[in-house]
Structure 1
Amino acid sequence: MVRLGTKADTLDRLRPFLTTARILPLVHFTSREWRDRPDRLLAGLRRHEWAAGPVMVRSSATTEDTGTDSNAGRFRSVPARNQDELAAAVDEVFASYGRVDAQDQVLIQPLLERVRASGVAFSCDPNSGAPYRVVNWSATGRTDAVTGGGSAELHISYGAAWADPAEAPDPQVGAVWELLAELHNLLGEQRRLDIEFAFSDLGELILLQVRPLTVTKVAVAAEEHRATLTATARQITETTRSRSRVLGHRAVYGVMPDWNPAEMIGLRPRPLAVSLYRHLITDQVWAAARARYGYRDLTGTRLMVQFSGLPYVDVAASFTSFVPREVPDELAGRLVGHWLDQLVAKPYLHDKVESHIAVSAGTFRTAQRLEALAGFSAGERDRLAGFLRRFTGQLVRGDLWEQDIARLRLLNEADNGETHAAGCSADDIGCCGPALVARLDVCAAYGSSPFAALARAAFIATDLLDDLVREGVLSPEDRARFIGGLRLVASEMRRDFAVLDRAVFLKRYGQLRPGTYDILSPRYDETPERYFDWSAQNRPAPGDHATRRPFELSGKQRRQVEALLVREGLTFDVARLMDFMTTAIRGREHGKLAFTSVLGDVLTGVRRLGERSGCGVDDMSYLDVTTLATLTGDPAHDLPVLREVAARGRAAHAVSQTVVLPPLVTGPADVRSFALPQIRPNFVTRARATARVALVDVGDTPDGAIVLVASADPGYDWLFTRGIAGLVTAFGGANSHMAIRALELGIPAVIGAGTALFDQWSRANVLELDAASGLVTVIA
């Protein structure tokens, strides 16, 4: 068995045995040897034929590649184009170590100049220690494209440790899997490895480095992990079979389409967050709201499913619910099937399904979008356009969205009057489980239900607004002025923060929290200093758009819109259109604030109910709504129930931490092997900013920074009171709440960058965000 050592020692020891890849010729020596006899070392190097050409002098310090700290990328690698440059290159590499130990080495190899692809690979998931082969590579032709963090063209794939290399998403990835397997055999089965590799222009796999991978998590046993993935694959198959009233010929599940759980509750949420999201949105509310507006009725169909605890949207159900009720079944089924095929062919659109794939309403460019329907006759496309046109006309002319605005206004009255069980005082929001569930039911009826409907209306309104830009009626600046003049939540919060007394401000917004459904996320009023800089309270924010006047069409623009309405056969006038767009977009934002305020109080009640029984907030995060309804407030009754539920939920959540699935699941085979799609981020506004990077979830100060947060949850509205320069989120779509917030305030943003780019940018110190050009550049 080969023993790991320094970078140079490990490669030297592996060279005679390795068969699945080649290790370049090498020479290495210590700093003491270099200090004592540099001329002899250089003379010895010249005797190697390969040393006559360009070489790379690489670091091989004793503090690199240890079992506790890799120091990856900390030290220099310096090319030497000829022998005259060699001594200076060696000195430069040794100098990069800082305090040089006598046993520190440098490693000299031929310079690998013509590279087809390069990257890094792990023999386990570096986040969880689970037995996956993770390959991160780039085809830029640079051997440091991945390790240097400068490439946007990153490919990431996962494969179960027991998957056959033939199942790899790319033949080159399969070759790296075989290399990892051989290294395991040579170095020890239990060894966790991090390797660097490259493919030459001739396709030969070159091993550049092997080091132990430092993972703090306790790894799951290989057989246990295999059993979990096998069960997950079976669950995907069974879930697909059990669906009813869902159109389309295939099943597809995604973390970002529609009511995107990745944005709202995260990729691996705890049971309470999942249960609340189901109760308020994805079990009944989502479908009832759409059916009420005239879409196909899918009430009784759950939109969100979970695979080993990971939440996914049933995309076929989502697409089915985007079809107006009047469309005949046969045509509707073919339409949904076509959309599903398009998404599978272009998985990078998984967070843009409505803007780029599904057509859910008649707008000013519906005909152009329907032209992309392959396999549909001109007559069928015309029929679909007619159904969509009538749907939009009925919606905009009708008063359903106005009724939803009125229903939201009743939420506080209904919540205060209908949600307290006998024996509970109105102030004791944690009195018992049934009272809290009653508040959730009222929240659903008067809060999340009208909000869900208004969210649909707002999407159509935004589509109409964007089409006016595409038709040249409005400029992008006009669109920004329209949104900025709506006085949405972010603007109101910034204005209120500047003018209201602290106590009054927190009474209005204090029940909100960054993780809307997450009981572990502190409310604004629980840790206000964490969120708000009170010293800046009365200073107006630079470039504040909160005082903008409502946007008005010019006479010419009004005539142009009238002509478009006639052209498209839309049976409402310009005034009604503007009223619909204004009310729907504003209503969605205020509806979200209204129902999440009640939800925030319910989560506080759950925490207090747990405290009565001696259970902390961590235990309560494993609760679900069904169990909540059984809690009496009596510790003697509740404590055994809570202990059992918390233990069960903790175990299930632990399993979810060991499972990685793609953002788009198309079948059980995706459990064993997949490649992450290349995400195309959504750039918001046309502004530009260069600033330091702030990761607020780990405690960085956001003021004046380009802020990076994983989700586009509107609970992060507090950021907009802190004068941020820009915003980047890993998840979220072009019409997500945070996208609207950024547009309203004129802040450059990247919404939905995807995990690969988000992680890459998170490692930067300074970024330049040019939203107009769609570019993010690492400055430092």
Structure 2
Amino acid sequence: MVLTKADTLDYLKNRITKSRIEDLMIVTGKMYGENRKQILADIQSQFKGQTIVVRSSCSNEDSSETSNAGHYDSILDVDADDRDAVCHAVETVFDSYKKDLPDIRNEQVLIQTQTKSIISSGVIFSREIKSGRLYYAISYDEDSTDAVTSGSGGKTIYIARTAESSSLPERWGVLVTAMRELEDIFPEYPLDVEFAVGADLIVTIFQVRPLAACIKKLENPSDYKEDRAKNDRIFGELINKIKQQYQKLSDLLYEKQAILSDMAFWNPAEIIGVNPHPLDFSLYREIITKAAWNQGLTTIGYRVVDGDLMYRVGNKPYISLRKSFLCLMPADLDEDMVKKLLAFYDRKILSDITAHDKIEFEVVFSNYDFTTEDRLQELLEYGFTKGEIQDLSGSLFRLTDHVICNFRQNRMQDIRSLNGLKVHRENIRNNWLMAAKDVNTSIRYFIELIESIKQYGTPKFARQARLAFISKALCRSLSAKGYFTSREIDDFMMSIYTVASEYDSDFQDFAEGRITRAAFDEKYGHLRSGTYDITCETYAEQDFDSSKASETAKKQRQRIERLKHTPLDPEKVEQALSDIGFDVDAKKFVEFLKDSMEEREYFKFEFTKSLSLAIDILINIGEMLNFSKEDMAYLTVDDIIAVYHKPETEIRRIWEQVITENRKAYTDASDLILPDVICNKQQLEYIEMVEARPNFITSEIVTGAVVVLEDEESKRDDAGAVDVADKIVVIPKADPGYDWIFAKGIRGFITKYGGVASHMAIRCAEFNIPAAIGCGDVIYNYVTGLDKLTLDCKNGKILKEE
């Protein structure tokens, strides 16, 4: 397609039947320069009484190498009867070419009737633009015809290329039909099409050009036409496969259409990512979401729920919302109330999908706090009686009062278990280091470590995590009910001294020569930027640049030290406790708030030491069998356990086959785009990217330069080499392996995934670092394109700065 925008539209005007092109006129620079008056008169004559748009159509646009989309001016809302306005618009567009081209005589300006009664307008790509996946990618707006192309707004939808047009919402069905016709006319390369859909569901085409970004990614661009049908067929088979997978999962969960979330409750998208390798997924499942997630909660009054919490669709991990809802119910609720609450929770989440990473605060009633009675009144609108609400209130109160009053006792039991985990880990570590290395012995040590984590570690961590959540909810509600200001609660959160604070302190000591690298590694060397990811190096394997411990970090540390002596006002706490009726004094209550959050982070830190050792053993097993870390990532825990006691030659043969099969399945499934929340099968081929509601931490407002740490980049670069000091750090997901960030004096923090009570939310609150946790795809993609921004946590905004 060696045509300009105007030439292409002129070529298509009488060839398309599934869409339309507005009346047009093409003017060249030479024509306009030689006969300006006549050209203006012709425009006024052809478009008399109409509103027109004067658009760029430069030879520098729309090639297979570059689109230069939006590079040159286009003028909307021009009155064709106003000669001066038409003249100004045409000359403005021509003048915009001059910044690149010395000679514009052969360049074109396109004049068209401006389309009216538009319900959606934007751009549709025949491939997903980032990596060329087989989806129609639609960026659209409902208020402006140029919001998407100008970069000022827009929503995003992905539609599998094999989706039936009739199965889509009407406006997108007619658009996809129109797009397929254009692909048949221009079959040689992927397309980038600017469109509008009218109230009459007729599609108007504004522009058709090669999708330069995807052409560059094609292995053999000349074969695109021949490969398109074959690739679409194979992709269609993959889509059907995951539809069947989802249906089987729904049947397994005894639901007609299971509601699944990538960030609810145990937020796997934040911890292992949206495309984890088989080993990452299976490790997280084995030690957390297979049983520990519920085992730790039943002992403090929550309902027993059997079986897995996390499942996989394609490569993506999802949490069962139904099981999450059940698990967060007090055990003493009767079955009628359980059924009624489940129906209510389903309605709530379906009415606002953006609450899926906030279910404990905005959907379920899982504990009692200072705002619970206010929140419970909502149930009256959903058919609950006052008696039922009173019963639920009493159940929540008893559970919460019990966990606060028995916190010290539960804590001591859990610490004893954690000590057992430490002893077991050290025994295995010493035996493994001292023993002659052989594969089966090492597999046995790996199995023993995993079983030890499941027995002594993660059920206790699950309990401590729930207690920390209750603490967080109580703190939020103390502010919401006016007992304390947001600032007072922020300062209190900074007084909480977790392992992150300890890490920060120790890193400063290491940077200033007060402790050795060996001493630092002994304590923190097990941490990985991906806690469950075998391909990530540990801190001990990285070269920290201690010279980058910034002055900002030192000041931050000094401020935290000062705030450790500013606890919550005990008189206000006593008043709040008197009002709510908890059977605990102010001192013990504040101890619960602080200690529960500290213990959560400590327990997580300790069990990840055992997990890191298990991963180290797997790496060593791989080396003995001549498998790389990347190869080992395609095994599962079950694959490892299954070969125990087999001869090494047999183990290698089996694993080689498994790795090959799993790698292919993983690669194929990596081509999928999947939603944050799945409610039905259609959402597996029609994915509407809902703009998430970030969880803003602190009430600060900061402005700063943006530094983006993408997953792959973070794996390659050592932690100390990344200059994040005094920057607003943007990252897809972050688990404890990224704690080094907080020792660098960052200005702000933004993540794509994460919940209000997630690990990183607690870290940011502890360090009083303004943060937007869990922004989702739309906001994240916007933010990663900025050089500088303002993070306004007080008003819940992220603003572009020039």
Q: Does 1:595 align with 2:603?
A: no
Whole-angstrom distance in 1 between the partners of 2:64 and 2:447: 50
Whole-angstrom distance in 2 between the partners of 1:113 and 1:497: 61
Q: Does 1:18 align with 2:16?
A: yes
Structure 1 residue 21 displacement after superposition: 3.0
Structure 1 residue 118 displacement after superposition: 2.2
Partner of 1:507: 522
Whole-angstrom distance in 2 between the partners of 1:640 and 1:592: 36
Structure 1 residue 427 displacement after superposition: 10
1:251-266 aligned at under 5 Å gives the runs 251-266=258-273
Partner of 2:373: 367
Residues 128 and 217 in structure 1, CA contact (< 8 A), matched pair in contact too: no
Q: Which secondary structure state, in structure 1, belongs to the residue aligned with residue 634 of structure 2?
A: coil
Q: Deviations over 1:239-295 (max 9, x none)?
A: 222237xxx886211111111111111111110100110111111111111222221
The 1:553–1:260 alpha-carbon spacing in structure 2 relative to 1, beyond 3 Å, is: closer
Task: Provide structure 2 residue ranges, at least 5 long, that are not aligned to the other structure.
Answer: 80-84, 220-227, 715-721
The 1:555–1:506 alpha-carbon spacing in structure 2 relative to 1, beyond 3 Å, is: closer
Whole-angstrom distance in 2 between the partners of 1:195 and 1:510: 51
State the aligned residue count: 763
The 1:483–1:659 alpha-carbon spacing in structure 2 relative to 1, beyond 3 Å, is: same
Partner of 1:339: 345
1:367-386 aligned at under 5 Å gives the runs 367-373=373-379, 374-386=382-394
Residues 690 and 767 in structure 1, CA contact (< 8 A), matched pair in contact too: yes
Q: Does 1:178 align with 2:177?
A: yes
Q: Does 1:472 align with 2:482?
A: yes
Q: Deviations over 1:724-766 (max 9, x none)?
A: 2211111111111111111222221111111011111111222
The 1:97–1:523 alpha-carbon spacing in structure 2 relative to 1, beyond 3 Å, is: farther
Whole-angstrom distance in 2 between the partners of 1:267 and 1:217: 24
Partner of 2:567: 552
Q: Which secondary structure state, in structure 2, belongs to the residue aligned with residue 579 of structure 1?
A: helix
Q: Which secondary structure state, in structure 1, belongs to the residue aligned with residue 554 of structure 2?
A: coil
Partner of 1:584: 596
The 1:41–1:765 alpha-carbon spacing in structure 2 relative to 1, beyond 3 Å, is: farther
Partner of 1:146: 148
Q: Which secondary structure state, in structure 2, belongs to the residue aligned with residue 241 of structure 1?
A: helix
1:277-316 aligned at under 5 Å gives the runs 277-299=284-306, 301-316=307-322
Whole-angstrom distance in 2 between the partners of 1:102 and 1:432: 75
Give the structure with the larger helix fraction: 2
1:624 counterpart (617, 632, 636): 636
Q: Does 1:608 align with 2:623?
A: no
Q: Does 1:543 align with 2:556?
A: yes
The 1:650–1:29 alpha-carbon spacing in structure 2 relative to 1, beyond 3 Å, is: farther
Q: Deviations over 1:627-657 (max 9, x none)?
A: 2233679864443233212111111111211
Q: Aligned partner of 1:228: which letter?
A: L
Structure 1 residue 47 displacement after superposition: 5.7
Partner of 2:443: 433
2:122 counterpart (102, 111, 119): 119
Q: Does 1:704 align with 2:726?
A: yes
Q: Does 1:564 align with 2:549?
A: no
Q: Which moved more, 1:82-91 or 1:572-581?
A: 82-91
Whole-angstrom distance in 2 between the partners of 1:625 and 1:308: 18
Residues 56 and 93 in structure 2, CA contact (< 8 A), matched pair in contact too: no
Q: Deviations over 1:336-375 (max 9, x none)?
A: 2221221112111111111000111122222222222212
Whole-angstrom distance in 2 between the partners of 1:502 and 1:78: 64
Residues 416 and 426 in structure 1, CA contact (< 8 A), matched pair in contact too: no
Structure 1 residue 540 displacement after superposition: 4.8
Whole-angstrom distance in 1 between the partners of 2:48 and 2:452: 77
Partner of 2:277: 270
Q: Does 1:134 align with 2:137?
A: yes
Residues 494 and 767 in structure 2, CA contact (< 8 A), matched pair in contact too: yes
Whole-angstrom distance in 1 between the partners of 2:507 and 2:150: 41
Partner of 2:543: 528
Partner of 1:192: 190
Q: Which secondary structure state, in structure 2, belongs to the residue aligned with residue 404 of structure 1?
A: helix
Q: Aligned partner of 2:509: which letter?
A: V
Q: Which secondary structure state, in structure 2, belongs to the residue aligned with residue 209 of structure 1?
A: strand
Partner of 1:157: 157
Partner of 2:224: none
Q: Deviations over 1:320-348 (max 9, x none)?
A: 11111111122112212221221112111
Whole-angstrom distance in 2 between the partners of 1:179 and 1:744: 53
The 1:74–1:510 alpha-carbon spacing in structure 2 relative to 1, beyond 3 Å, is: farther
Partner of 2:222: none
Whole-angstrom distance in 1 between the partners of 2:461 and 2:103: 63
Whole-angstrom distance in 1 between the partners of 2:547 and 2:687: 47
The 1:487–1:427 alpha-carbon spacing in structure 2 relative to 1, beyond 3 Å, is: farther
Q: Deviations over 1:538-561 (max 9, x none)?
A: 875333343131543325303312
Q: Which secondary structure state, in structure 2, belongs to the residue aligned with residue 608 of structure 1?
A: helix
Q: Which moved more, 1:701-710 or 1:56-65?
A: 56-65
The 1:184–1:421 alpha-carbon spacing in structure 2 relative to 1, beyond 3 Å, is: same
Residues 198 and 207 in structure 1, CA contact (< 8 A), matched pair in contact too: yes
Residues 56 and 109 in structure 1, CA contact (< 8 A), matched pair in contact too: yes
Q: Aligned partner of 1:183: which letter?
A: L
The 1:535–1:266 alpha-carbon spacing in structure 2 relative to 1, beyond 3 Å, is: closer
Residues 433 and 633 in structure 1, CA contact (< 8 A), matched pair in contact too: no
Residues 264 and 358 in structure 2, CA contact (< 8 A), matched pair in contact too: yes
Whole-angstrom distance in 1 between the partners of 2:51 and 2:241: 53
Whole-angstrom distance in 2 between the partners of 1:632 and 1:97: 70
Q: Which secondary structure state, in structure 2, belongs to the residue aligned with residue 109 of structure 1?
A: strand
The 1:104–1:443 alpha-carbon spacing in structure 2 relative to 1, beyond 3 Å, is: farther
Normalising by structure 2, report the TM-score.
0.88
Structure 1 residue 178 displacement after superposition: 2.3
Partner of 2:668: 655
Task: Provide structure 1 residue ranges, at least 5 long, that are not aligned to the other structure.
Answer: none
Structure 1 residue 105 displacement after superposition: 4.1
The 1:203–1:96 alpha-carbon spacing in structure 2 relative to 1, beyond 3 Å, is: farther
Q: Deviations over 1:205-228 (max 9, x none)?
A: 332222222322677722222222
Q: Aligned partner of 1:560: which letter?
A: Q
Residues 485 and 546 in structure 1, CA contact (< 8 A), matched pair in contact too: yes
Whole-angstrom distance in 1 between the partners of 2:549 and 2:70: 40
Structure 1 residue 231 displacement after superposition: 2.1
Q: Aligned partner of 1:323: which letter?
A: M
Q: Which secondary structure state, in structure 2, belongs to the residue aligned with residue 10 of structure 1?
A: helix
Q: Does 1:64 align with 2:76?
A: no
Partner of 1:209: 207
Identity of aligned residues (%): 28
Partner of 2:223: none
1:385-400 aligned at under 5 Å gives the runs 385-398=393-406, 399-400=409-410
Q: Aligned partner of 2:176: which letter?
A: W
Residues 706 and 728 in structure 1, CA contact (< 8 A), matched pair in contact too: yes
Whole-angstrom distance in 1 between the partners of 2:100 and 2:115: 23
Whole-angstrom distance in 1 between the partners of 2:404 and 2:701: 36
The 1:430–1:110 alpha-carbon spacing in structure 2 relative to 1, beyond 3 Å, is: farther
Q: Which secondary structure state, in structure 2, belongs to the residue aligned with residue 288 of structure 1?
A: helix
Whole-angstrom distance in 2 between the partners of 1:775 and 1:380: 39
Partner of 1:226: 236
Q: Aligned partner of 1:229: which letter?
A: I
Q: Aligned partner of 1:546: which letter?
A: I
Q: Which moved more, 1:97-106 or 1:117-126?
A: 97-106
Partner of 2:495: 485
Q: Deviations over 1:386-411 (max 9, x none)?
A: 11111112212222244224433443
Normalising by structure 1, report the TM-score.
0.91
Q: Which moved more, 1:739-748 or 1:214-223?
A: 214-223
Q: Which secondary structure state, in structure 1, belongs to the residue aligned with residue 560 of structure 2?
A: coil
Structure 1 residue 715 displacement after superposition: 2.0
Q: Which secondary structure state, in structure 2, belongs to the residue aligned with residue 691 of structure 1?
A: strand
Partner of 1:323: 329
